[in-house]
Each structure stands twice: as C-alpha cells, then as structure tokens.
Structure 1
Amino acid sequence: MSRRTISGINAGSMADIAFLLLIFFLVTTTFEEDEGIKGVIPKPCPEGVDCSSEIPEKNIFTIRLNRNNELMANNEEISIDELRNDVKAFIDNNGDQSCDYCHGLKKTNLSDSPLKAVISIHTDREASYDRYIGIQNELAGAYYELRRDLCKAKFGKAIEDLTEEELKILQDSYPFRITEAELN
C-alpha cells in the first residue's frame, strides 16, 4: 500500500503580501484632480448698498438650450458652430464707440462695449451635459480669440509670453461676464 502525500503551499502570508502591495499602490499612485469649468462667483452685495442695476437689452446676449438640445441665440435657432462667431461679434461690437481696441461693426442692436456685454445662458434640466459643455467651450473660445487678437495688436507677442500685468489688461479689456439660469 502506498501513501500519497499531497504537498501544499503555505498561503498564510499571501494575505499579508497582498495587503502590503495594496498599501504600496495606494500610497504611490497619484490621482488627477478634476478641473471642471472655471468660473468666478461674485462677492455678496454689502449691506446697505443697492447692487441691482438695469442692463439694456442690447447688452445681453441670450443663449437658450432646451430639453431637445436645440440651441437659440437671441431668439434665433443656430448651430453650435455659429455660436462662437456670433458671441465675438456681440462682444466686440463697440456700439457706443467707447472702445478704442474693438473692431466691431457698431450695430445698434448689439452690445455697446465689451465692458457692458453680458452673456446669459438658460439651460433646461433635461438638456444634455455634453451640449452644455460644448456651449461653454464656444464661449471660452470666443473670449480667448478676442484676447489673443488684442494681445497681438497691443503687445506683439503670444498670450503665453505675457506678464501677469499684461494678462490682467487683456482680461479687463474683455471681461468674462456670464450669467446662468434654468429654463422653466
């Protein structure tokens, strides 16, 4: 009669090794932070100060995104591809001719100056997030292009080569003024 012995592997320390590897990878792994959409929340209005002001209709560019992802700008249906140029024309219009760096057409139904231009976005809750992000990208692209053109004309160099002061001048020349509301 022969006796068979089954040799086994001592797995008692395997759990310890797996635990140490898990700790090692958790400690050494870096996680990228989500950047999200950059925005500046306004400071609250000081007590006793009236912070409300009437904005003339011509200084407001209204963008509406409905539940079917249909895009309207100033009550006209447009495509996302047209949005950037329409926003640039609105912001850079120079309707009151107070802007010496603007190249707009000076139309009476568009904004008076980049300092008075406001973009108002109204989004339906059921609109697609991708479409909303597409609108945000087009708005950021419009402002970037206006600032880039001013940078070349005023400083003769690329935006990446600007000092903090020069960058501030561009941002003050074309301030990013966007309001958001939900469609009812």
Structure 2
Amino acid sequence: MVNAVGIVLAAGAGTRFGGPKALARADDGTPWVEIACRTLLDGGCKDVIVTLGAGADTAGPLVPGWATTAVVPDWAGGASASLRAGLAAAAGTSADVAVITLVDLPHLPPAAVRRMLGPDDGAVGADTLRRAVHAGRPGHPVVLGRHHWEAVASTATGDRGASGYLREHGATEVDCTDLGGGGDVDRR
C-alpha cells in the first residue's frame, strides 16, 4: 500500500458561505473538518494534516486529536497559501504522496480517496499526479507525488492551487462521478 498523507485545505474565510467553512457542521453536529479528516484516514492516508487560517483559534479544537494542524498566516492569499502550508507540513512526514481535499466536501466518501490511491500495484508513488473528475469537471481529491510538492508549492497562486500545474504536467484524471460527493458546498 502507498504511504499517503492527507491534507485538508480549511484556511479560507468562506465569504460566500458566510464564515469559515472550518467551523461548519453537518446536520448531526459533526464538524466538517472532522468528516474530511476521517474520509482521508478511512480512504487510506496514514497521517492527516489540516490547514487553518480564518477562525483558526475556534476551528482548532474541531480538528481530531490524531490529526496535525498547520496554521496558515497568509490564508487571505487564497487556496494556494493553504496548499503551500499543507505541503510544507507534509514534507516532515515519510509519505510518498499527498492526497488533497477541501473541507467543504462533506459528502465525499472514503471510496474516492481509495480510488485515487489506486490498486496496491505500485502504480501510485512519488511521481504520481492524479485528479478526481466528477461529471466531467476536475475536482478533489488530488494526489500529488512527493517529487512534485516543491514545484507545485512554488507555482500555486491565488485560489487556483495546483490546477495549472496538474494541467501542464498531464495529471491522470480519475472518474469518481459514480461515488458522489464531488460538489463543494458554498452556501449554507
């Protein structure tokens, strides 16, 4: 099995949502950040990192105790700031790949993470670039092999994150439409 670290991008202010999505909860009261962490863990990630920015003091206690928190001081710079912080924290792990997801995908199933990590045949490793596709639209999770982390971090800008890098470097698209949960929640 591949050695994967999960990264939950949860540092934004959630302007359209009406507040930081790191503070959002499901109807049953479960914090979205906890759901995202559990999805990555249950999907095959050995470790999980959560990036926090807006509302970090309040959101911190919602992060499960077994996950690592990376505070993003420049969170207002967009998703790229969160991605850079997550990859920097991941560099301190022994992971070969990082599985990136967003906190505002509370319906994303662990099966999507498992599909993105692929079968246990050695096909996923430090050179991997994969992006989930939902109904023909690129989305999350994204799998970045360790050999790409530094380049992704140096080229990510604004709210685009790694999308330009993934496109330019021919990331493998993995259809996850049948699994559901690919739509982010932007409104309460």
* TM more than 0.5: no
| TM-score tier after normalising by the smaller chain length | under 0.3
TM-score by length of structure 2 reads: 0.25
Q: If each structure's helix is expressed as a fraction of its own residues, which one has the higher value?
A: 1
TM-score by length of structure 1 reads: 0.26
Asked which structure has the greater RCO (Cα within 8 Å, sep 6+), the reply is: 2
